[in-house]
Amino acid sequence: MDVIEIISCPRGISISCDGTKCTCLDFADGCRGKTPLIVTVGGNGSFHYYLRLPQSDGCIVFDQTVTISLVEPGASAEIYGLLSGAGSSSISISISLLHYADNTNSSCNIGSIGDGCCSISITSKIAVGSGTKNCSSSMQINNLRLSPQCQVRATPILDTATADCSCSHGATVGDLDRDQLFYLRSRGLDSAAAKITLRGAFEEKILRNFPKASSCNG
């Protein structure tokens, strides 16, 4: 078995591997089918997945499932995602990070921005199998709503069957901070510019983790 095995992969995803490290760049659009991304990571392998769904005013239906299994000691995975929805888009992503071996690490940081009447649903799961030792995992989901009509659902799941692990997850849903907006306007920015600045700051927190060459493409 290869250290990293791609069992299923949607079309349009770029994966490059270098030794035991694979980087997966996914600049998705709304035309994708429902093929899941399923990856197993073996001994000391490292899988990095970067997902960017740029905003489109059309009616986008995006439904993606990502399952990464860490099956041998030393395996690790990192996921960064930035999803933007507008209009009447429907965005749904389900991420599972499954720890089946000792000394495995994973992290996931997803941000979503919802505008218009879009619907965003993010389900994320960390599971640590029975008897595994010294695993660590963290997951963060932040959702920014730019429109009161936008509906956001977040379901972060933590499922552990061993005491010897350290896991955490967090999820937030909020609108633009009115104090921050007020501050920017008091410095001379108009309302639209202030909103764009705050939105940019939110995006930057995710995009700064993207590989350098790719982060400016979106």
Partner 1 sequence: MGADGGSCDSGDGTGAEWDFSCETDYAYDAGYGLSEETVRYISSIKDEPEWLLQFRLNSLKQFEKIDMPHWAPLKKSDINYGEIRYYLAREQLPRKNWDDVPAAVRETFDRLGVPENERKFLAGVEAQFDSEMAYANLREELTSQGVLFVSSSDGLRDHGEIFRQYFATLVPPGDNTFAALNGAAFSGGSFIYVPPGVHVAQPLQAYFRINAEQFGQFERTLIVVGENAELTYLEGCTAPRFESTTLHAAVVEVIALQGAKVQYITVQNWSDNVYNLVTKRAKAMAGAEIRWIDCNIGSALTMKYPALILAGERARGEVLSISVAKGKQRQDTGARAIHICPNSSSQLISKSLSIDGGSTTFRGQILTAANAHECRCHSRCDAMLIGENAQSQTLPKIDCRGRNCTIEHEASLSKISDEQLFYLRSRGMGESQALSLMVNGFFNDLIREFPMEYGVELKRLIEMEMDDAKGHGQWM
In this structure, how many other beta carbons lie within 10 angstroms of the beta carbon of residue 31? 10
Least distance to partner 1, CB of residue 73, Å: 19
Nearest-approach distance from CB 159 to partner 1, in angstroms: 5
Nearer to partner 1, 164 or 204 (CB): 164
- Report if residue 164 touches partner 1, rule: CB under 8 A: yes
Neighbours of 214 (CB within 10 A): 15
> How far, in Å, CA of 48 to CA of 17, rounded?
10
Q: Collapse the DSSP code of 75 into the 3-class scheme (helix H, G, I; strand E, B; otherwise coil) and give the result.
A: coil
Q: Tell whether residue 158 is a contact of partner 1 (CB under 8 A).
A: yes
Stretch binding partner 1 (CB under 8 A), from 5-13, 29-37, 69-77, 159-167: 159-167
Which of 12, 19, 58, 174 is in the footprint of partner 1 by CB under 8 A? 174
Measuring CA to CA, how many Å separate 191 from each of 117, 154, 157, 203? 21, 28, 37, 18
Q: Does residue number 38 form part of the binding site for partner 1 (CB under 8 A)?
A: no
CB 153 within 8 Å of CB 112: no
Instruction: Give the number of residues in contact with partner 1, rule: CB under 8 A.
Output: 31
Check residue 191 for interaction with partner 1 (CB under 8 A).
no
151 versus 214: smaller Cβ distance to partner 1: 151
CB atoms within 10 A of CB 95: 25
Asked if 130 is part of the footprint of partner 1 (rule: CB under 8 A), the reply reads yes
DSSP 88-130: T-EEEEEEEEEE-STT-EEEEEEEEEE-TT-EEEEEEEEEE-T
Residue with tokens 């089918």: 33
CB of 175 to partner 1, least distance (A): 5
The answer to whether residue 148 forms part of the interface with partner 1 (CB under 8 A) is yes
Rg (Cα) of the chain, in Å, rounded?
18
Minimum CB separation of residue 57 from partner 1 in Å reads 21
Q: Is 185 near partner 1 (CB under 8 A)?
A: no
Tell me the HSE value of 131 on the side-chain side, using a 13 A CA sphere. 3
Counting contacts by CB under 8 A, is residue 144 touching partner 1? no
Q: Binding segment for partner 1 among 92-100, 102-110, 148-156, 199-207 (CB under 8 A)? A: 148-156
Contacts with partner 1, residue ranges (CB under 8 A): 130-131, 143, 145, 148, 151-175, 178
